[in-house]
Amino acid sequence: MLALAGLALPAAAGAVDIDGRIDPDEWAQARHVTEFRKVQPFSGDPASQATEAWILATPEGLAIAFRNRQDASAPRTRQRVQRDFGDQVDRVNLMIDFDGDGRTGYNFVLASTGGIGDAVITNENNFNDDWDGNWQHAVSEDEQGWSAEMLIPWYIAPMQSADGQTRRMKIYLDRVIGSSGERAAWPQASYERSRFLSEFEPIEVIKYSQSLTAITPYVSGLYDNVGGGSDFEGGADIFWKPNGQFQATATLNPDFGQVESDDLVVNFSATETFISDKRPFFTENQGLFEYTTPSDFSQLLYTRRVGGPADDGNGAGDITAAVKLNGSIGQAKYGVFYADEGDDAGRSFAALRMVRDFSSQNLGVMLTQVDRPYLDRQATTWGVDHDWRPSARWNIRSRLFGSRIDQAGQRSDDTGATIWADYQMDHGWRQQWIAMHFGNDLQINDAGYLSRNSLNYLHWEWRKRFDQLPERSRYASKQWRWRASTTYNDHGQRLSNQFRMSREGNLRNGSHDYAQVNVNSAGVDDLLTRGNGVLALPPNFNLHYEYERPRKGRWAHEVNADLVTGGLAGNDELGYALEYEATYFISDAFSLYGGAYADETPDWLVWQVDNLIGSFRGREWHLNAGINWNISARQELRLKMQALALDADNRAAYRVAGNGRAVASDDAVEDFSIANLGFQIRYRYELAPLSYLYVVYGRGGYERNDYADDALPLLQDSFGLRDDEQLLVKLSYRFEL
């Protein structure tokens, strides 16, 4: 049954003051929630610490208040955190599905020390924190516990038209105790289960609507200390929402200066590394354009393509303008996306998205097109997606999509299809089936991302959760998984059969660990030689373990370890990887971190040319260090340093024969080594919501040598690299009209 929340007179409802102090008179007409149950572990028991919440619709937005009792048995965490933090601290979560259809949700996180995070939720339990919203929040603390208040404006997301005087939506509230990791929620739902977003609690509130026009101009200046030049830019992002059923965003001459530093990656494989997009225009209301498959990171619209490496190989594409429209007509939602790059090598990107939601299923279609005149290439993709929840136990997601490529008078077409079915059983048991087919000529990477085509994959997985563990156990919950899978390419060649077993555990002290073993059959590698032969490989296995202990006292720790086999040696030679990082908290606001990574791969296969491959003894080392200083609620200073060294000592050279066998070759294959450095100091001052001053100093370099060397000399060499050295100052200010 739908509950009525916030049925107060508009004048009274509008009197809520978001100051972190829960005034009984302000919340008198609100819905009062007290039935918080443990969902981590997923026992359904009452919360160990009393939690209450209030829900109230006001003309300014949806207001939520939490009262969190916390006695001495649950020590409080007072660590300050940056936006979109992942730290294990005391916090509350508000999650809203404004249309109540289970397609897109919004998560708003508020820590007890005032830090915030926000994310978009799609595909039931996929969180993307690249998006930042503008919402009000405040906290307060006393001897008995702490309180939190939030106000989410109605213009923050597109919404379908509501009939009558009320709006139906779905909501989820939870509270996390940082010292133990315990999570208590209302309703009793968990993102660790196959159905989460569709399990939110239905509510009905007074219908309000807000319009908003916001302009965020920017100016930036960059000085290149290596090239000696300067560059000054200016532009603006524009947001217009006249009502809940339509909104438009546009960007003019966007500046994508590097205020965020990506992690260093050295990739010798035939597949592309996926990097998420944090640029504000591309994250704003992007959830509607989500079209993914079970293949890792796959999607039809991968916005990092826009402004990515130019088709002529000269730097990045120069974006002149981009626009995005989101809206709804009745029960259908639509989205239109267009971006244009300048110069002769510029591309144009277009996407159209439409979805229709029903009581137990969602149906959508999507089209993308990329024009690449420099390559005389036009790429079109289409997709149909269907999500079906036939009962409380089943969740079934299916995708059918295809591509058409026209290049230099030649045309190629192909299709792909996936189905993902989860079945929730009793007593913590769950089954999962996934099937994927990607055609040999399927090409979606002009606008989207797919790690590889020519793939046929099938797996069956059993899971068992243990949430009622004895009090004497170190663990609050455990989950075991067993999976059997088979993978072939589209030519009928077996890539691998695999058995996987894993165990995930949440400890009572808030720590987390994970262990996994994969046993792989013999198969072939059809990507290594880039189309110049298929290499037969023997069986192999790998073991992985990770442990994360959140802050206790002044220290926090993370450990990752791997044992692996592979290459032509198969199980005859064993490699390893080990990583450790520690964080030391000088105060709740100031911390230092440092870590090291080392690995050795005894038979690392690297493609050279044609069907020639080299077998190397590969060793890699990383040093990571940094400073995080949350100076105040509006100021932060970050220092991040990464140094990477890679050494490859040649053991043998091989040619891949027509039968897939590796034949020893006398071809010269040389040793090599790599040094890589990334260093950034970033100061950020928040002038107003979504308005920032950045001062960023960055330095980096990359060097490849035709000789092998040891870790210490290579790492020392990396610190002297100076291919780039820049100072960037950027000012942006959001004006709401």
Question: Six-digit token pair at 214?
Answer: 């916001």
- What is the SS3 assignment for 445? coil
Number of helices (H), then strands (E), belonging to the chain: the values are 3, 42
pLDDT recorded at residue 411: 97
pLDDT recorded at residue 253: 85
Reported confidence tier of residue 613, pLDDT bands at 50, 70, 90:
very high
- pLDDT at position 152 over 60: yes
Cβ(381)–Cβ(448) below 8 Å:
yes
pLDDT recorded at residue 258: 56
- The three state secondary structure string of 57-117 is EECCEEEEEEEEECCCCCCCCCCCCCCCCCCCCCEEEEEEECCCCCCEEEEEEEECCCCEE
- pLDDT at position 257 over 80: no
- pLDDT at position 638 over 70: yes
pLDDT recorded at residue 294: 92
In 153-253, at which residue ranges do the beta strands (DSSP E only) sit?
Answer: 166-176, 183-186, 201-206, 212-224, 230-243, 246-252
- pLDDT at position 614 over 60: yes
Cβ(25)–Cβ(162) below 8 Å:
no
pLDDT recorded at residue 357: 85
> What is the per-residue pLDDT across 650-701, written as a single tens digit (0 to 9) for each?
999 999 999 999 999 999 999 999 999 999 999 999 999 999 999 999 999 9
Instruction: Tally Cβ neighbours within 10 Å of residue 720.
Output: 10
Q: Provide the residue type at 715 as one letter.
A: L
Place of tokens 């997601």: 397
Distance CA 675, CA 478 (A): 41
Distance CA 164, CA 237 (A): 35
* Closest to 550 (Cα-Cα) out of 4, 90, 17, 52: 90
- pLDDT at position 511 over 70: yes
Reported confidence tier of residue 255, pLDDT bands at 50, 70, 90:
low
> What is the per-residue pLDDT across 569-610, written as a single tens digit (0 to 9) for each?
999 999 999 999 999 999 999 999 999 999 999 999 999 999
Reported confidence tier of residue 14, pLDDT bands at 50, 70, 90:
low
- pLDDT at position 52 over 60: yes
Reported confidence tier of residue 349, pLDDT bands at 50, 70, 90:
very high
Distance CA 305, CA 316 (A): 10
User: What's the gap between Cα 107 and its chain centre?
Assistant: 14
Q: What percentage of residues in the chain have a pLDDT greater than 90?
A: 84
- Specify the pairing of strand 201-206 against strand 3-5: parallel
**Mean pLDDT computed over 149-157:** 95
> What is the per-residue pLDDT across 195-241, written as a single tens digit (0 to 9) for each?
999 999 999 999 998 999 999 999 999 999 998 889 898 999 999 99
Q: What percentage of residues in the chain have a pLDDT greater than 70?
A: 97
- pLDDT at position 5 over 70: no
Integer Rg of the chain from CA: 27
* Closest to 436 (Cα-Cα) out of 462, 482, 483, 398: 398
Cβ(36)–Cβ(42) below 8 Å:
no
> What is the per-residue pLDDT across 162-191, written as a single tens digit (0 to 9) for each?
888 899 999 999 999 999 999 999 999 999
Reported confidence tier of residue 261, pLDDT bands at 50, 70, 90:
low
* Closest to 234 (Cα-Cα) out of 245, 218, 250, 257: 218
pLDDT recorded at residue 35: 96
pLDDT recorded at residue 600: 97
> What is the per-residue pLDDT across 545-566, written as a single tens digit (0 to 9) for each?
999 999 999 999 999 999 999 9
Question: Six-digit token pair at 351?
Answer: 């996407």
The dihedral built from the CA positions of residue 281, 284, 285 and 291, taken in this order, carries a sign that is positive
Distance CA 350, CA 375 (A): 17
> What is the per-residue pLDDT across 436-492, written as a single tens digit (0 to 9) for each?
999 999 999 999 999 999 999 999 999 999 999 999 999 999 999 999 999 999 999
Average pLDDT, the chain: 93
pTM tops 0.85, yes or no: yes
H-helix segments, 367-500: none
Distance CA 576, CA 35 (A): 48
Place of tokens 């990571």: 624
Question: Six-digit token pair at 455?
Answer: 């793939």
**Mean pLDDT computed over 527-541:** 97
H-helix segments, 586-725: 711-719
DSSP letter, residue 449: B
- Which own/partner pairs from 466-470 qualify as long-range (CB within 8 Å, at least 24 positions apart)? 466/428, 467/41, 467/42, 467/43, 467/428, 468/41, 468/43, 469/41
Distance CA 321, CA 305 (A): 14
pLDDT recorded at residue 669: 96
CA atoms within 13 A on the CB side of 341: 24
pLDDT recorded at residue 161: 83
Question: Six-digit token pair at 734?
Answer: 């959001």
pLDDT recorded at residue 602: 97
Instruction: Tally Cβ neighbours within 10 Å of residue 83.
Output: 14
pLDDT recorded at residue 9: 33
Residues 6+ apart with CB under 8 A from 138: 18, 19, 20, 114, 148, 149
Write out the CATH class of domain 3-210: mainly beta
H-helix segments, 191-324: 280-283
Q: How far is CA 467 from CA 114, 423, 425, 461, 526, in A?
A: 31, 18, 15, 19, 43
Question: Six-digit token pair at 375?
Answer: 């390559």
Reported confidence tier of residue 259, pLDDT bands at 50, 70, 90:
low
The dihedral built from the CA positions of residue 443, 447, 451 and 456, taken in this order, carries a sign that is negative
Question: Six-digit token pair at 259?
Answer: 């205020």
Domain boundaries, the chain: 3-210, 251-271+526-737, 280-422
Alpha-carbon dihedral 605, 608, 610, 615, rounded to 10 degrees: -30
pLDDT recorded at residue 4: 41
Question: Six-digit token pair at 109?
Answer: 């996180």
Q: Provide the residue type at 42 as one letter.
A: F
> What is the per-residue pLDDT across 136-147, written as a single tens digit (0 to 9) for each?
999 999 999 999
> What is the per-residue pLDDT across 262-293, written as a single tens digit (0 to 9) for each?
677 778 888 898 888 888 888 887 888 999 99
Task: Decide which of 365 and 245 is more confident.
Answer: 365
Q: With left for phi above 0 and alpha for psi between -120 and 50, is residue 100 left, alpha or beta?
A: left
* Closest to 139 (Cα-Cα) out of 686, 633, 723: 633
